Amino acid sequence: MILFLFALFLFAGALEQAGALDHLARWIIGRARTARDLPAVLFLGFGIASAFLVNDALVLIGVPLLVALARRLHADPTPLLFVLAFSVTVGSVLTPFGNPQNLLISIASGVGDPVAVFLRYLLLPTAINLAIGAVYLRRLFGPAMATEEGAFARVRADAPPLLPSSGWRERLARSPVLWVFPGTMLLILTLDLSAALTGGPIVPIWEMAGAGAIVLLLASSGRTRIVEGVNWTILLLFAGLFVVVAGAVAGGIVPAAEGLLPVPAPSQPITGLLVITGSSVLGPQVVSNVPWVALQIPLLTGLGYGGGTPVAWVALAAASTLAGNVSLLGAASNLIVAELAEKEGIPFRLSAFVRYGLPLAAITLAVVTASLLVGL
């Protein structure tokens, strides 16, 4: 998982250095017809992007972009940062590489074709949740943004086209990440889905991501700068978390947790789904979502959950991720947004986060749970 995260952070840093993420963000902003629509458009744009670029890396780039946008609009940046935090939580549910806990489940659960499994069970509820979230946040924050229509008209006028009409040969040669990253994502999706449809050999997604990262470094003249741009602090944080979790498992915390909230065996799929979902909403509020998932994996595998019980693993992934919108502690991406906001002197308070995020979390969890129950 650390290697997979390293590859995705490498891609994110290279895309940022190439100006691609800034370009994409300005294009997304230009899709809003009015300033009132901006929260909804940003929620959809960052939510979709987070499904393909791990959310912790995306918020590192998104916070300074949105702070700069708010300053151009002479608006309070806090609502835009709430939109960013909520969007990368909802959107990253969709794929195994949307967030670290999904990555961990895709690697350690025994599910053979994780991309196909996640898309099969989560594509429809995630699409519904993105639509609901966009409407909710437009109503919540749209009126405050509407007071800046004049400034927004000037920002919108500067929005670039998604794909420039010329200069691609020089652009691709100067920034190989522009073809290596989409090529790697396409390869992962194609090989995983084809394996699911044809029963062919399965190539682990972390190996494909690692291969793409190697190609990027070999093809880039500025490879040293790309490596230096990786956020090593976050990688070390996750490495440390895994050491702590391994120690907790060795110390017997899994049997203790099983005694407090017993998870039914795989022979009781409906009860198991509800217990896994409920506990995975509460657990991350105490230890955050990645450590919670790391603790749940040995518990579930010990009970007999594995590659033949994909719904249970998808429920663990979705519930532990969407729990990030309940409170700041629920997701590492929230803490990153809060830390970066505080460095800019922008208030990002727990009470406000819960007030705005809890209703969204409740609705999105209900949609996913209902969808998975129907899938059973």
Inform me whether the pLDDT recorded for 60 exceeds 80. Answer: yes
Rounded to whole angstroms, the Cα distance separating 64 from 346 reads: 12
Number of C-beta neighbours around residue 218 at 10 A = 10
Q: For residue 353, name the pLDDT band (cuts at 50, 70, 90).
A: very high
**CB contact at 8 A, 85 and 332:** no
Rounded to whole angstroms, the Cα distance separating 41 from 35 reads: 10
pLDDT for 254? 57
For the chain, the average pLDDT equals 88
CA angle 372/374/376 to nearest 5° reads 70
Inform me whether the pLDDT recorded for 376 exceeds 70. Answer: no
pLDDT for 162? 84
Compute the average pLDDT of residues 87-116: 91
Q: Which of 11-15, 112-116, 129-133, 147-151 has the highest mean pLDDT?
A: 129-133
pLDDT for 250? 75
Q: For residue 179, name the pLDDT band (cuts at 50, 70, 90).
A: very high
pLDDT for 248? 72
Rounded to whole angstroms, the Cα distance separating 334 from 348 reads: 10
Compute the average pLDDT of residues 163-188: 90
Note the pTM of the prediction, 2 decimals.
Answer: 0.89
Amino acid, res. 196: A
pLDDT for 39? 94
pLDDT for 344? 87
pLDDT for 255? 62
Amino acid, res. 363: I
State the DSSP string of 285-313: HHH-HHHHHHHHHHHHHHTT-STT-HHHH
Work out whether the CA dihedral 165, 171, 176, 181 comes out positive or negative.
negative
Q: pLDDT for 280-338, tens place per residue?
A: 998 888 878 888 898 889 889 988 999 889 999 999 999 999 999 999 988 989 988 99
